[in-house]
Amino acid sequence: MIAPQVKELILTQDYGVRESILKTWEFNFEDFTGAATSWDVSNWTEAVTPDPRPISNSSALRSEDPGVLLHSTTTSSGNVRIYQDVDVLTSASGSFVVAFDYGAYNPTGGSLTATIEVEISIDESGTVYYFTGYGWNVTPTRIPISENLTVGAGDFSGWNSYKKGIDGSKTGTMSVNLYAAIESGGGTIYSTFKNVKIQYTNNDGQVVESITYNVTNAVNGQIIERSYMLGDGDDFDNVLLMSKGAVNVYDSGDEVASSRSWSTRGGGEADPIIELVGGEIGAQFARPKHILDLELYEQNNDFFDIIGNLQDDLNQYSGSDRVFIINRATYYVKMRKWNLSLNELIKISCQV
By CB neighbour count within 10 A (0-12 exposed, 13-18 middle, 19+ buried), where does 309 fall? middle
How high is the pLDDT of residue 85?
Answer: 94
- Cβ-contact 129, 138 below 8 angstroms: yes
Number of residues written out for the chain: 352
- Cβ-contact 97, 206 below 8 angstroms: no
Residues 6+ apart with CB under 8 A from 59: none
CA–chain centroid gap for 237, Å, is: 11
Average pLDDT per block of 10 residues along the chain, 352 residues long: 94 86 93 89 94 86 89 85 88 80 86 88 90 85 78 83 77 91 80 91 79 93 90 68 69 64 62 85 92 86 72 89 91 88 79 40
How high is the pLDDT of residue 258?
Answer: 58
